[in-house]
């Protein structure tokens, strides 16, 4: 039975069987008059207490102990029903589940709605069984509410299964991906009590649901995409030679229709006077003379790739993170032909991820969206800074987590991770004896930059890379493991501050278990690329001074003018922030920006693929 029928059954019962005087039929009135029993509230209260003490209480996604706690909170009264039948707020609960942007394709199975439908269809409304029937439905709805609040608070994907998938990737591909989830811990019972008193379930839902910027707008946008899917999906663009400004082709008519469907082309208008007198057709390679009023050749301006089409193509390309050149080549055509159903699933998945994030993002906070290759600073819900970044390669993925920036380092030393030393630095040293001198890298016995510098020529470095390590998670990596196994001395490689230091001249620190941070970079040319996954996990900033200035504008400990003077020197300087700034490293391949525009990005770490397979597995 379809969910729509389920809602109809509810509304039917609510309006015809139990509403007002129509619901309070003669049988119930007769019961009260003849048997002279107590009020409905008193009788239902007594029955619920009795039922909770017995073993017959229907358990629906709740333990007996938790069910008792719910009804104790409500003084053992019915929550979702009363003497008139099922309350409107119960309909609101079920409608919210039905239309949940993440769970919608799976809500029927996830909440065993068929069972609830059967119970509704078999309700016993006789005076002697009415309260019993209402109590059973009430208990089921309480279980449904608790389960839904759990998913809003923690997301639907089985987190252990996802972490197991990351572990498998680490073993098979030696990719160490990090992702942390932040669950909301609220008292669902007290939130429900408040919601029932105010007759507004959103008071409970909003306390635990996502708070990421424009998350609700993204959930609403899915409805528009569902309409497109119901109407047959996107128009498919056929193979053709590159389409660009000035071209005339029948395929451009199809392109226009496709761009209208995604709202990149707002109005499909063209100007007949804009048609050239002669133009090479891109599909047929023939030159057609196009003359206004010709009886032989139709002068169709919709076949012209004009400025409006070019701007629409650029809009589409920007929303998908590809080169915005206004030309429809093989790559852009591939993105245009992605089915709308794929995009809907992608949007649902990213809303699920937003339920894994902290709910209190902060008044002023940073968001690093890895697939977007962007850093944004939000202040009082407005974007104050928008900057290009470089993130980790797939082999060295930037982790997904939240932390707080606490200090800034001017002229940083780079304490080179042991894995990079083994895989990259030592091989270069063996090829170029003066490599360390040229790059300003010193070798120490400790991480103390003031400790003695060793003579690198006195060490046989080939011993440190002959065997591959079998380090376990959390162990000291690569060359240190090798050193321990072979009883070799352990050395630390530290690069001094300079314009060639990979950390650049500024780094922004939020000490974390992954040892990643935001920092400057001497390789400025990489920021011009559309795809910017080149680091070992840390985030490189295109304009670190702009971030420094933005922080200084509201932090009394950071003097931007003084910091610039430090940058003219080479000595390391550390600045402690007066106000810590939340930093959220996120992995969103679909979102809505501050202008209300929906975006999609490539799944650079293949997380979409893994999580889509887990999203609707039975929980």
Write out pLDDT tens, residues 390-410: 999 999 999 999 999 999 999
Residue in the block written with tokens 């891109």 = 282
Q: What 3-state DSSP class applies to 431?
A: helix
| 322 and 444 part of one domain | no
| 149 and 297 part of one domain | no
pLDDT tens by residue, 127-181: 888 999 999 999 999 999 999 999 999 999 999 999 999 999 999 999 999 999 9
pLDDT for the residue numbered 291:
38
| 259 and 144 part of one domain | no
| 491 and 439 part of one domain | yes
Lowest mean pLDDT: which of 266-270, 375-379, 507-511? 266-270
pLDDT tens by residue, 226-270: 999 999 999 999 999 999 999 999 999 999 999 999 999 988 887
Residue 13 has pLDDT above 50, yes or no: no
Position 360 in a domain? no
| 473 and 552 part of one domain | yes
pLDDT for the residue numbered 299:
58
Q: Are 64 and 114 in contact (CB under 8 A)?
A: no
| 565 and 502 part of one domain | yes
- For 103, list phi and psi in degrees, rounded to 5: -85, -10
Position 226 in a domain? no
| 377 and 333 part of one domain | no
| 376 and 326 part of one domain | no
> What percent of the chain shows pLDDT beyond 70?
86
Residue 540 has pLDDT above 80, yes or no: yes
Q: Are 326 and 308 in contact (CB under 8 A)?
A: no
| 139 and 258 part of one domain | no
Position 202 in a domain? yes
Q: Are 135 and 47 in contact (CB under 8 A)?
A: yes
- Identify the CA nearest to 73 among candidates 195, 181, 157: 195
H or E stretch at 86:
strand 85-86
Confidence category of residue 286, pLDDT binned at 50, 70, 90: very low
Q: Are 147 and 75 in contact (CB under 8 A)?
A: no
593 vs 290, higher pLDDT = 593
Residue in the block written with tokens 């998938």 = 165
| 379 and 326 part of one domain | no
Sign of CA dihedral 192, 197, 203, 207: negative
- Identify the CA nearest to 403 among candidates 581, 185, 586: 581
Confidence category of residue 285, pLDDT binned at 50, 70, 90: very low
pLDDT for the residue numbered 268:
84
Reading phi first (left if > 0) and then psi (alpha if -120 to 50, else beta), residue 213 is in beta
Q: Encode burial over 269-280: b for 16+ CB neighbours within 10 A, e otherwise.
A: ebeeeebeeebe
**Tokens matching residue 492:** 């630390």
Q: How far apart are CA 363 and CA 403, in angstroms?
A: 14
Residue 26 has pLDDT above 90, yes or no: no
pLDDT tens by residue, 450-488: 899 999 888 888 888 755 443 333 333 445 555 555 577
Query: What mean pLDDT do residues 418-428 have?
Result: 89
Position 535 in a domain? yes
- Identify the CA nearest to 538 among candidates 396, 406, 413: 396
Position 123 in a domain? yes
Residue in the block written with tokens 């923690």 = 154
Can you list the positions of beta strands (E) in 362-478? 364-369, 374-379, 382-392, 401-410, 414-415, 441-444
Confidence category of residue 126, pLDDT binned at 50, 70, 90: confident
Q: Are 120 and 33 in contact (CB under 8 A)?
A: no
Q: How far apart are CA 173 and CA 396, in angstroms?
A: 11
Q: How far apart are CA 223 and CA 246, in angstroms?
A: 36
Residue 85: C-alpha distances to residues 91, 130, 198, 415, 537 (Å): 12, 9, 19, 69, 58
R_g (Cα) of the chain, nearest Å? 32
Residue 211 has pLDDT above 60, yes or no: yes
Q: Are 7 and 99 in contact (CB under 8 A)?
A: no
Residue 35 has pLDDT above 70, yes or no: no
Domain that holds residue 51: 3-156+193-208
Q: How far apart are CA 154 and CA 182, in angstroms?
A: 7
| 198 and 296 part of one domain | no
Q: Where are the alpha helices (DSSP H) in 122-243?
A: 130-154, 159-173, 188-198, 202-208, 215-230
Confidence category of residue 5, pLDDT binned at 50, 70, 90: very low
Residue in the block written with tokens 């999580």 = 611
pLDDT for the residue numbered 121:
82
Position 220 in a domain? no
| CATH, residue 545 | 2.40.440.10
Confidence category of residue 294, pLDDT binned at 50, 70, 90: very low
Q: Are 332 and 239 in contact (CB under 8 A)?
A: no
**Angle at which helices 64-73 and 40-53 cross, to 10°:** 160
Lowest mean pLDDT: which of 291-295, 364-368, 521-525? 291-295
Residue 308 has pLDDT above 70, yes or no: yes
Q: What 3-state DSSP class applies to 299?
A: coil
pLDDT for the residue numbered 483:
58
Q: How far apart are CA 391 and CA 398, in angstroms?
A: 6
Residue in the block written with tokens 């003497």 = 83
Q: How many domains does the chain have?
A: 3
Q: Are 422 and 491 in contact (CB under 8 A)?
A: no
Show the CA angle centred on residue 466, arms to residues 460 and 470, nearest 5°. Answer: 125
Q: How far apart are CA 102 and CA 181, in angstroms?
A: 17
Position 225 in a domain? no
H or E stretch at 565:
helix 560-567
> What percent of the chain shows pLDDT beyond 90?
72
| 138 and 274 part of one domain | no
Q: Which of 288, 321, 338 is the last residue of a domain?
A: 338
pLDDT for the residue numbered 619:
55
Position 311 in a domain? yes
Residue in the block written with tokens 């609040």 = 149
């Amino acid at each position: 039975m379809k969910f729509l029928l389920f809602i109809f059954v509810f509304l039917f019962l609510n309006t015809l069987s139990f509403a007002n005087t129509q619901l309070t039929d003669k049988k119930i009135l007769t019961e009260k008059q003849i048997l002279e029993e107590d009020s409905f509230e008193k009788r239902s209260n007594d029955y619920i207490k009795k039922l909770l003490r017995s073993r017959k209480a229907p358990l629906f996604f709740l333990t007996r102990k938790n069910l008792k706690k719910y009804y104790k909170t409500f003084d053992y009264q019915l929550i979702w029903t009363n003497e008139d039948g099922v309350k409107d707020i119960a309909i609101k609960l079920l409608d919210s589940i039905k239309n949940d942007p993440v769970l919608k394709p799976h809500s029927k199975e996830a909440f065993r709605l068929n069972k609830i439908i059967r119970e509704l269809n078999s309700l016993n409304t006789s005076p002697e069984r009415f309260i019993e029937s209402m109590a059973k439905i009430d208990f089921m709805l309480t279980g449904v509410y608790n389960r839904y609040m759990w998913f809003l608070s923690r997301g639907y994907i089985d987190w252990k299964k996802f972490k197991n998938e990351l572990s498998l990737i680490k073993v098979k591909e030696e990719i160490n991906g990090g992702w942390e989830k932040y669950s909301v811990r609220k008292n669902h019972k007290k939130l429900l009590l408040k919601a029932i008193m105010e007759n507004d379930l959103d008071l409970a839902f909003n306390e635990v649901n996502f708070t990421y910027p424009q998350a609700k707008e993204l959930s609403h946008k899915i409805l528009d995409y569902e309409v497109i899917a119901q109407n047959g999906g996107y128009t498919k663009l056929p193979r053709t030679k590159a389409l660009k400004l000035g071209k005339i082709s029948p395929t451009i008519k199809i392109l226009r229709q496709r761009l209208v469907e995604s709202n990149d082309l707002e109005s499909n208008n063209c100007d007949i006077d804009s048609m050239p007198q002669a133009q090479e057709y891109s599909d047929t390679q023939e030159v057609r003379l196009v003359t206004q009023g010709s009886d032989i050749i139709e002068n169709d301006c919709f076949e012209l790739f004009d400025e409006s089409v070019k701007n629409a193509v650029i809009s589409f390309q920007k929303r998908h993170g590809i080169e915005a050149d206004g030309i429809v080549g093989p790559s852009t055509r591939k993105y245009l032909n992605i089915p709308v159903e794929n995009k809907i699933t992608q949007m649902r998945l990213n809303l699920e991820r937003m339920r894994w994030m902290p709910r209190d993002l902060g008044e002023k906070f940073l968001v690093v969206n890895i697939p977007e290759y962007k850093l944004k600073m939000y202040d009082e819900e407005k974007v104050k800074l928008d900057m290009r970044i470089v993130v980790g390669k797939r082999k060295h993925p930037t982790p997904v987590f939240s932390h707080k920036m606490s200090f800034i380092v001017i002229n940083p030393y780079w304490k080179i991770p042991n894995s990079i030393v083994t895989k990259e630095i030592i091989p270069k040293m063996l090829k170029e004896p003066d490599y360390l001198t040229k790059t300003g890298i010193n070798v120490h016995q400790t991480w103390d930059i003031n400790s003695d510098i060793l003579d690198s020529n006195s060490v046989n470095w080939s011993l440190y890379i002959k065997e591959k390590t079998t380090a376990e998670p959390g162990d000291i990596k690569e060359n240190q493991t090798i050193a321990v196994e072979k009883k070799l001395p352990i050395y630390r490689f530290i690069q001094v501050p300079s314009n060639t230091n990979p950390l650049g001249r500024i780094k922004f620190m939020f000490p974390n278990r992954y040892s990643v941070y935001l920092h400057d970079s001497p390789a400025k040319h990489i920021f011009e690329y559309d795809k910017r996954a080149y680091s070992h996990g840390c985030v490189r900033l295109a304009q670190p001074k702009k971030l420094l200035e933005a922080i200084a504008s509201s932090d009394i400990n950071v003097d931007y003018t003084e910091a610039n003077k430090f940058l003219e020197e080479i000595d390391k300087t550390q600045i402690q922030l007066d106000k810590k700034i939340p930093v959220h490293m996120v992995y969103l391949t679909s979102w809505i920006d501050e202008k209300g525009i929906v975006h999609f990005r490539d799944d650079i770490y293949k997380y979409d693929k893994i999580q889509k397979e887990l999203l609707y597995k039975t929980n």
